[in-house]
Amino acid sequence: MASFFRFLVLFFLLSGAVHRTLSLGVGINYGQIANNLPSPSRVAGLLQSVSISRVKLYDADPNVLKAFSYSNVEFIIGIGNENILNMTDSTRALAWLKEHVQPNLPQTRVTCITVGNEVFSSNDTTLMSNLLPAMQTIHEALVALGLDNQVNVSTAHSLTVIANSYPPSSGTFRQDLAQFIQPLLDFHSQVNSPFLINAYPYFAYKANPGQISLQYVLFEPNSGMTDPNTNLNYDNMLYAQVDAVYSAINAMGHSDIEVRISETGWPSKGDSDEAGATPENAGIYHRNLLRRMAENQGTPMKPSVPIDIYVFALFNEDLKPGPASERNYGLFYPNGTPVYDIGLRGNLPMLASSAHRNAVTQGLGFLTLVGVLLI
């Protein structure tokens, strides 16, 4: 715990430019596929003391939601893919809401339910067919409970739903998914809910490190690329990915649906064949991303619409399957210390002065510091 307090004091000394990132609406993905994470009450104790007020869960863990009672934290909660079929039944959908959502309101702010995660990246056409009916049934149950003005319904997509992303203005959805995505977009338009994407420039770089510029994917200075159809210039891949999704949505007749990033991040460690997975690159990606957020930037195609982002993830998760990178996306180690520098200046100091010690003791350090770490 002492080491954590030292980090708090360090952040108290940060510049005003970094402090301004606290006012942003940057969210954090709170995954729990691990056996060594701090308790939800400890996590709540960190988050509720700072300006980080948006958390995305992959389930509706009652322990987490209870731990955040009477905080100012806004939650996205999830219904797993394994439960999508059940949610097509109106009785079961209503029962799920009465068990997982209604008892937590208003003391815990639940504002969105994601039905499934990356469903269209599977080969399960039955699951794909059930996704929209489940979303519709959940929405109808929210209406029945009078909660539809507080809680919206969406689902998160991998960028594998996109058939073409270059140039961004030519973005299109995969033809084999059109039968599922067109009515899904109609639903989003009808209920005014966002289209969520999990966008990882890291994946593109990992697949082609010899052809894709590391500077381009890390928001570092580079010549970028110009869309020949619009003459819009892109100096980073994430914004190009978002605009490709906007173009794909427009191609299906909708210009009234907002695209939001439900996941993005960069791993601090990977296997030998996972190019670019280092603490240095992860730190650069997140520092530059936060800098763009501080400027309230939109994409070249939507310059007046600041990008809405949930960073992945709060902690390294030691039980996640797959390559080493999957277990190393966290901004924090489970013991509460940062995995890498996301904007620190200088070396870690000790609690050097009584003024700093008193600030930490009184909880003032929490108000200024933890949020920068957690975003």
Residue numbers annotated as active site = 118, 263
Written as six digits, the tokens of 209 are: 């490190």
In terms of Cβ atoms closer than 10 Å to its own Cβ (0-12, 13-18, 19+), residue 137 is buried
How many CB atoms sit inside 10 A of residue 182's CB? 13
- 76 DSSP β-pair partners: 56, 112
Instruction: Give residues with Cβ within 8 angstroms of 120, minimum separation 6.
Output: 128, 131, 157, 158, 160, 161, 177, 180, 181
**Residue closest to 56 by CA, chosen among 309, 342, 257:** 309
Pairwise CA distance, residues 240 & 236, whole Å:
7
CA gap 235, 255 in Å, rounded: 24
DSSP label at 268? S
Determine contact, residues 27/374, Cβ cutoff 8 Å: no
Which is it for the CA torsion 344, 345, 348, 352, positive or negative?
negative
